[in-house]
Amino acid sequence: MVTGGAGFVGSHLIDRLLERGDEVLCVDNLFTGTKRNIDHLSGHPRFEFMRHDVCFPLYVEVDEIYNLACPASPVHYQHDPVQTTKTSVHGAINMLGLAKRLRCKIFQASTSEVYGDPSVHPQTEAYWGNVNPIGIRSCYDEGKRCAETLFFDYHRQHGLEIKVARIFNTYGPRMHPSDGRVVSNFVMQALNNEPITLYGDGQQTRSFCYVDDLVAGFMAFMETGPEVSGPINLGNPVEFTIRELAELVVEMTGSTSELVFRPLPQDDPMQRKPDITLARGTLGWEPTIALRQGLVKTIDYFSQLAND
C-alpha cells in the first residue's frame, strides 16, 4: 500500500513496485495529488486506487505500507496548516495502528525539514535540528517530527518494524506545476519567458535529488532487515545556490527570462545538504542522476504539460 500514491513521488514509487511484480493499493484523498499521475495505471490488473483521507481509520489487508500522504510544498502545506498537522500526526497514528494489526513493516516519508534552519552542515541523522515551533513552516516540520516520534514509539512499545527516511528536495516529472516549489516555479517561468523569482538574494542552498534516484532509495530501505529503522537521509549531496539553479534553468530552456528578487519567506532555511554516509553504508545506495540530466526530463515534462 502506498498512501499519497497519486502524488509526485508516490506515483513514481507505484510504477517501480508494479514493474517489480507487486500488487499495489494506492490510497490518496487527491488533496495535492491528481488522478492524472496514475491514469496510465487504470486497468492494470495489479493496481487499485482508493480515495481515502488517512486522518480517518483504514481497515485493509496489505503486507507493506509506504506512508507518503502529506502535502509537501510550502504553498500547499501552508494552505490549510491545521489539516497539514492532522495529516502527519493522525495519519501516522492510523497507518501505524494498521501496521500493528497486520504485523507488517511500515515506511515513513519524513523530511529534511526536521532539521529546520540547520546550524550543522551538511546534515547528519545525529543532528536534532533547529525548528521554529510556532512559525508558518511549523505545521509541516513539527507534524513530521511528531510522526517520527510516533514511529519510534510504536517500534519500541509494540515491536513494529519501521523504516524512517528523511527526504531532501526532490524534483522530476509529475511535480505539480503550481506547487510553488523552486524547480517547478523556475521551469514554468523560464518556459513562459516570465521573470524568474529569486527569494532573498538567491544565495541560500538546496541539494536536488532526481525522483528515480529517491524511489530506488525507498525500495532499498524497505528491503533491509528489522534491525534497520533509520532515520536515514535520502537525497543528492551536490549542493547548489538557488541563483545557480535559476541560471541553469534559463540556460537549458534557452529562455529570455530575467532574474528578479522577491522577499525571502519567513524561516526559509539558508542551507541544506544531506550527509548520506549512512545510506551509502547501510543501503548501498547513492544518487546517480546529475541535476542537469534530471532537469532535461523535468523540462520536457513541463513543456508537454503546457502543450496539452
Q: Tell me the residue number closest to ligand UDP, measured at CB.
A: 97
Shortest distance in whole angstroms from residue 75 CB to ligand UDP: 8
Decide if residue 54 touches ligand NAD (CB under 6 A). Answer: yes
* Partner whose binding site includes residue 31, from ligand UDP, ligand NAD, none (CB under 5 to 8 Å by kind): ligand NAD
141 binds ligand NAD (CB under 6 A): no
**At its nearest, how many Å lie between ligand UDP and the CB of residue 187?**
10
Q: Which of 22, 48, 239, 268 binds ligand UDP (CB under 6 A)?
A: 268
Q: How far is the CB of 297 from ligand UDP (least distance, A)?
A: 18
Contact between 206 and ligand UDP by CB under 6 A: the answer reads yes
Residue 298 grid coordinates:
523535468
Asked whether 273 and 205 are in contact (CB, 8 A), the reply is yes
| Contact flag: residue 101 with ligand UDP (CB under 6 A) | yes
- Cα separation, 97 vs 154, in Å, equals 9
**Closer residue to ligand UDP in complex, CB, 152/224:** 152
Nearer CB in complex with ligand NAD: 53/161: 53
**Of 180, 170, 250, 158, the residue nearest 207 (C-alpha):** 170
Q: Per CB under 6 A, does 199 bind ligand UDP?
A: yes
Active site residue 140: yes
Q: CB neighbours of 72 closer than 8 A, spacing ≥ 6?
A: 7, 8, 9, 32, 111, 140, 179
| Alpha helix ranges (H) inside 20-166 | 74-79, 81-102, 138-158
94 lines the binding site for ligand NAD (CB under 6 A)? no
- Set 66, 77, 115, 140: catalytic member: 140
Distances in Å between the Cα of 294 and the Cα atoms of 101, 196, 215, 287 are: 40, 19, 14, 11
Which CA distances in Å does 278 have to 129, 149, 155, 169, 272?
18, 20, 20, 18, 17
Alpha-carbon distance 145 to 301, whole Å?
33
Residue closer to ligand NAD by CB (options 172, 257) is: 172
Angstrom CA distances, 171 to 80, 254, 279, stand at: 23, 20, 19
Q: Which is nearer to ligand UDP, 41 or 90 (CB)?
A: 90
**Active-site residue set:** 140
Chain residues in the site for ligand UDP (CB under 6 A): 57-59, 73-74, 93-94, 97-98, 100-101, 169, 181-182, 185, 197-199, 204, 206, 242, 265, 268
